[in-house]
Amino acid sequence: MRFVLPKGRLLRGSLEILRKAGYNIDKPGERKLIGRFNGNEVLLARAFDVPVYVEHGVDVGIAGSDVLEERGSDVFVPLELPFGKCRLSLAMPAESVVPLEDMDGYRIATKYERIARSYFSKLGVEVEIIKLSGSVELAPKVGVADAIVDIVETGETLRANGLVEVEKIMDVSAQLLVNRISQKTKFDEINTLILAIKEVVGDGT
């Protein structure tokens, strides 16, 4: 089988849960993006690209529900995993918090363009989305945006940048993703993996 794992904050939890399930994958080197174990192959990709790799042919991946929602990838999600818990929230500078309905014309900096757009359109509030690739907390500081939509885990990054969480948009957790074709053509291998992970997370159903 071919696995794709996210570089960054979910990598450690991903390797740990797979190891406990009997898939003892060495962490590939920082620059080496493909490793092998027991005849399987492991790719390391940017977190936002994991759902794309799985949709387009990699058998199995681990990604946050935030990036899966943002990418809108057509993959099978058999399991939620017990790590990577955080939330995607709207945050504003502490000194200029306004009610959501007063945000017409606001500029929102985010990596989550699609989620942010759909959130504000459901509220009927017209905003300008400014798509950034990371460290979005900087944007309100320098007057590039009025608010952000971003991941909050401990809240430390918001506090350090004078921002406050105004609304939670969604809860986030790591998920196991399976390619829809592999799910049929490699049914036994994938089913074995899912059952082994279920055993680890204590969900014997």
Candidates 12-20, 132-140, 174-182, 185-193: pick the segment binding ligand PRP (CB under 6 A): 132-140
Q: How far is the CB of 77 from ligand PRP (least distance, A)?
A: 21
Sheet with 34-37, strands from edge to edge, namely: 34-37, 40-45, 2-6, 60-64, 174-178, 76-80
Q: Give whichever of 148 and 193 is closer to ligand PRP, judged by the CB atom.
A: 148
Candidates 21-29, 112-120, 123-131, 155-163: pick the segment binding ligand PRP (CB under 6 A): 155-163
Q: How far is the CB of 112 from ligand PRP (least distance, A)?
A: 10
Single residue of 20, 27, 155, 183 touching ligand PRP by CB under 6 A: 155
Q: How far is the CB of 169 from ligand PRP (least distance, A)?
A: 13
Helix, strand, coil percent values for the chain (each to nearest 5): 35, 30, 35
Q: Give whichever of 124 and 134 is closer to ligand PRP, judged by the CB atom.
A: 134
* 48 secondary structure, DSSP code: G
152 binds ligand PRP (CB under 6 A): yes
Cβ neighbours of residue 6 closer than 8 Å, sequence gap 6 or more: 14, 44, 45, 46, 47, 50, 61, 62, 63, 64, 67
3-state secondary structure 88-116: EEEEEEHHHCCCHHHCCCCEEEECCHHHH
204 binds ligand PRP (CB under 6 A): no
Q: Residues interacting with ligand PRP, by CB under 6 A?
A: 9, 134-135, 137, 150-157
